[in-house]
Amino acid sequence: MIIVMRPHAAAAEIDAVEALIAKLKLSAHVSRGAERTIVGVIGAPPDKETLLAQFAGLDGVESVVPISRSYKLVSREARGGERSIVRVNDRVSFGGSQIAVAAGPCSVESREQLELTATSVARSGANILRGGAFKPRTSPYAFQGLGEEGLRYMREAADRSDLAVVTEVLDPRDVALVERYADILQIGARNMQNFTLLREVGGVRKPVLLKRGLAATIEEWLMAAEYIVAAGNHDVVLCERGIRSFDPATRNVLDLAAVPVVQGLTHLPVIVDPSHGTGVRALVAPMSLAAVAAGADGLIIEVHPNPAAAFSDGPQSLTLPNFEELMGRLRTVASAIGRSMPQSQTAPV
């Protein structure tokens, strides 16, 4: 069972809920968000109906939700069936009628690369700049990223083009550093069940983009999101990025059915990464269009000014003109399903 407090409920009201839980010899898990506190009640109460009424009668309580699923705070029931909107800033949010679009290189390579990419993708209508400064590479000998220097290039390029920044944090010790530069902290597929890292970003007051693990079930993915929310950060956006299967024709199998499945199970927004999902440049546009048609709340797409020279993931990166063309096609699909794409800050030249 979870108890959802009204926004900005008084400390005394939350204390009263905790006191009642203690009196009933149950245990409480309190998740304090920026606006709202949610109290999870753990234990098997003897008479559920009476108990629900007791909590519902307390001051400051908005709703009491009996939840038998393993994930609770992220379940759709926890928000009374409403979908959450995760706000990044005045221009960028996930889960509303506008589709969010993050675009940029796999790895941050240089200041020039970032400037060129940011200016171009912003003109095409992206509203978030992506790029990795800490790279989770399969080989320890492959390029590992520019670290803080890369974060600085991201921030500067994004600010000049009025874009938000999403970038991956690999290590719990780097969370504070990445938080200083990024607007959204990305947890990569390989870290989806790094529980220490999940708890750490649960303490941050910025949205987290949680990628689905390479071989994670939807339930495991939602449980990972539950870790972050339970640690106090309610602003989690899920990202389907393909799962591993037996067929090498694509790098991963992009599970687009996961979009409506997840939307039925959780109130959190869900976006799609067609770049890692397919690993093939020619498949990025069709899968982006399909993702939006399937109801995704956003896209994260690898774009590089010269994919042939990219330090990582060149074969799946769109060129700047490829991305411009795709954005035009996405506008048609979005409007066909009653959604919109971000407006370009500067008119296309």
List, in sequence order, every residue forming a beta bridge with 186; answer none if it has no partner. Answer: 168, 209
Binding mask 69-108 for Mn ion (x = CB under 5 A): -------------------------------------x--
Restricting to residues 284-323, name those near Mn ion by CB under 5 A.
Answer: 313
282 burial level (CB within 10 Å; 0-12, 13-18, 19+)? exposed
Positive or negative torsion for Cα 309, 249, 330, 301: negative
155 binds, among Mn ion, ligand PEP, none (CB under 5 to 8 A by kind): none
Q: Which amino acid is at 148?
A: E
Query: Judged by CB under 5 A, how many residues of this single chain contact Mn ion?
Result: 2
Q: How far is CA 242 from CA 16, 71, 236, 274, in A?
A: 45, 22, 19, 8
Closer residue to ligand PEP, CB minimum distance, 96 or 314 = 314
3-state secondary structure of 90: coil
Do 124 and 323 meet the contact criterion of CB atoms below 8 Å apart? yes
Sign of CA dihedral 154, 155, 161, 166: positive
Does position 189 interact with ligand PEP (CB under 6 A)? The reply is yes
Complex with ligand PEP: residue 4 or 189, whichever CB lies closer: 189
Closest CA to 235 of 94, 345, 76, 137: 94
Q: Which does 189 bind (CB under 5 to 8 A by kind): ligand PEP, Mn ion, none?
A: ligand PEP
Nearer to ligand PEP, 252 or 322 (CB): 252
Asked if 304 interacts with ligand PEP (CB under 6 A), we say: no
Q: Pick from ligand PEP, Mn ion, none: which does 174 bind, CB < 5 to 8 A by kind? A: none
Q: Least distance in Å: CB of 213 to ligand PEP?
A: 9
- Candidates 8-16, 183-191, 199-207, 338-346; binding stretch for ligand PEP (CB under 6 A): 183-191
Measured CA to CA, the distance from residue 278 to residue 269 in angstroms comes to: 21
Stretch (H or E) spanning 29: strand 27-32
CB-based closest residue to ligand PEP: 188
Return the residue of 79, 241, 267, 281 that touches ligand PEP, per CB under 6 A.
241
Binding site for Mn ion (CB under 5 A): 106, 313
Binding site for ligand PEP (CB under 6 A): 106, 132, 136, 168, 188-190, 211, 241, 273, 276
